[in-house]
Structure 1
Amino acid sequence: MKHLGRCIELATMAIKSGNPPFGSVLVDESGAVRFEGHNETAGGDNTRHPEFEIARWAATNMTPDERAAATVYTSGEHCPMCAAAHGWVGLGRIVYASSSEQLSTWLDEMHATPPAVATLPINQVVPGVPTEGPFPALSDAVRDLHRRFHSQQKADDRA
């Protein structure tokens, strides 16, 4: 829960910089945080998801065995792009606070523009990667971040 709490803090930081609320942390087998980040897509590069950045960083800085033993904690279930990157570099378990299914429901409720890429469960993209989530105790906080972000987007569109 400590690492998922940090992911929510990172997602909050993302909103403050004009980015969608996603934050992620890479933790090695010993429990040490090796990398953390949040969405950086506001500049126009929609591949700047923290999970994708983690995969790139891990491929360069960790051995295959270290990657396989690591855990990625994230505020929201990986999108297909990030799930694929996770699988390609051989990262281990994924723990997420909220699911893709929840995100789809929340976006519908907010009348927000759906993502350009389908929201799919991780294991539809990368079969066999161990996953854990969502966590109901954290889902409300993540939903509130998405509401806050999309309210800001609508206000910016009206301005």
Structure 2
Amino acid sequence: MSIFYSFWIFYEHNILIIEFFSYKIYNDDMNTLGDRLKSLRKERHLTQSELAEELHLTRHQISNYETNQVEPGLEAIINYCKFFNTRADFLLGLDEDYDNANLEQHTIQQIVRSANRLSSEKKNRYLNQVRLYAIFLERHKETL
């Protein structure tokens, strides 16, 4: 089970979405490498084909990894770790912690990349909305 909060920012005709993953909880039913790989892919709303393109693999390879028919090699595991910003010991089931520090860093990078694509005026409004949402989360952290 993954718990996350979505925050919508409206700018004229465009809608920007920022997903703030406050924390992750993984159940015991995610005990295989394939389960973890599939869960990470689905959290990013990627198809197997889209992920295959990003990792320079085939969709068939991704499917085989996720269904535990084939175990990925060391290079594929490293590429998964880099792409999903996670640790190999999590993927391999040695540690249940997803590594929230990396997740936070990834979220910050997404916010900065999104802001940098906007005009100066829109960028200031965008960052102000993000700041206000962060204040909201801080004030309501007990109920999250």
Normalized against structure 1, the TM-score is what?
0.28
Q: If you compute each CA radius of gyration, which structure gives the higher value, 1 or 2?
A: 2
